[in-house]
Amino acid sequence: MARPTTPASAPNPVPPAAPSLRIAAELRRRIETGELRPGDRVPSTRAITAEWGVAMATATKVLTALREAGLVRAVRGVGTVVAEHPDRSARADRPDRPRTAAIAVPSVHPPRTEAELTRERVVSAAVAIADERGLAAVSMRQIAAELGVAAMTLYRHVPGKEDLLAAMADSVFGEIPLPSHERVGWRARLETSCRLQWRMYREHPWLAHVMSMTRPLPTPRGMAHVEWAMAEFEGLPPRVVIHIAVTMLNYVRGTAVNIAAEFEAERATGISSEEWMQAQDEAMDLILRGGHFPMYAAALSDPGVELDLDSLFGFGLDRLLDGIALLVPPAG
């Protein structure tokens, strides 16, 4: 009897690529073919989960992979966008090229002579770096690269990091001119001052980490700002006035710390706070179904409720001003 032949063993199947790698490859293709151009917003984590039917964690891995490849970057208030990256095609041709240590990129600015370099230019460059990349990115080496000078020349204008941080904060306080000195009432002055500070923190998230209530840096423009704010308090002892001033400074700065934290989180993950909150919807619904949290359930189901940093800041500011009003002697 003929012995049955055994079919040849099938070759080992190639394991499919992980979903995050497949999606990252597709988005990379769109970038490299020009379908997505520099500055264009790439799909958010929520959009990725909807288009490809993957979990939020997978979508986060996609954006992380693209960011590590230098293809995208997080922009505050916008989201994740295609980065300006001249050698993108060259890197795409070498996908297995091992990572190397970061190399300082020469400045695109023409070199400056020592005569052209000023303290204001140094501080302005430091502020620009902090605005774009965060306070941790500010170093004498990075500032020198931006200005096209040797790092050691900077120390003739800023003796050290603490002096530089104080000058950066002082520069920010000088960006917005104070209103006229006409009398408008203590409450209007104090509210205007706090809202101007809030605007500064919004435009410069790193500022919250520089300002301190326990080890304040000398900032003449910041002090002038506070003097203006407190100019119409009359009939109160100095110890009360200075406590009001510092309390309000601390309130604005303390709330603004959340702006700084969100700026860093969005830069690191490419996920906005709104996208992150949306990703928690399912888990929150499960928690609320038991009926043990009626306050949360009522607030989250009310379309008129807006809860964000701006609403928290405004609500808290009004309540603080109401409390201070109890300390002010009645007029006349």
Contact 269, 64 (CB under 8 A): yes
pLDDT in tens, 300-328: 878 787 888 899 999 999 999 999 999 99
Question: What is the rounded distance in angstroms from the CA atom of residue 7 to the CA atom of residue 86?
Answer: 53
Question: What is the rounded distance in angstroms from the CA atom of residue 262 to the CA atom of residue 311?
Answer: 16
Q: How many CA atoms lie within 13 A of 152 on its CB side?
A: 0
Q: How many CB atoms are closer than 10 A to CB 116?
A: 12
pLDDT at position 135 over 80: yes
| 316 or 57, higher pLDDT | 316
Q: Comparing C-alpha atoms, which of 240, 251, 227, 248 is closest to residue 328?
A: 240
Contact 181, 228 (CB under 8 A): yes
Name beta bridge partners: 75. 79
Task: Measure Cα distances from 233 to 96, 187, 242, 250 in Å.
Answer: 67, 9, 11, 19
Sequence-ordered list of residues with C-beta below 8 angstroms from that of 239, at least 6 positions apart, any chain: none
Average pLDDT over the chain, rounded to an integer: 81
Name beta bridge partners: 73. 81
For tokens 């980490």, the residue is 209
Full DSSP string of 229-278: HTTT--SS-HHHHHHHHHHHHHHHHHHHHHHHHHHHHHHHHS--HHHHHH
* Mean pLDDT of the region 46-64: 77
Contact 233, 193 (CB under 8 A): no
Structural domains in the chain, sorted by start: 20-86 (1.10.10.10), 119-159 (1.10.10.60), 186-325 (1.10.357.10)
- Pick the most confident of 83-97, 106-120, 136-150, 241-255: 241-255
Q: Comparing C-alpha atoms, which of 127, 202, 122, 194 is closest to residue 158?
A: 122
φ/ψ bin of 155: left (φ > 0), alpha (ψ from -120 to 50), beta (otherwise):
alpha
Contact 157, 119 (CB under 8 A): yes
Contact 228, 189 (CB under 8 A): yes
pTM value? 0.63
Question: What is the rounded distance in angstroms from the CA atom of residue 45 to the CA atom of residue 97?
Answer: 27
pLDDT at position 10 over 80: no
In 23-169 the beta strands, taken as DSSP E runs, fall at: 72-75, 79-82
pLDDT of residue 98: 37
Backbone angles phi, psi at 176, to 5 degrees: -110, 115
pLDDT of residue 57: 66
pLDDT at position 277 over 60: yes
Out of 42-51, 199-208, 241-250, which region has the weakest mean confidence (pLDDT)?
42-51
pLDDT at position 8 over 60: no
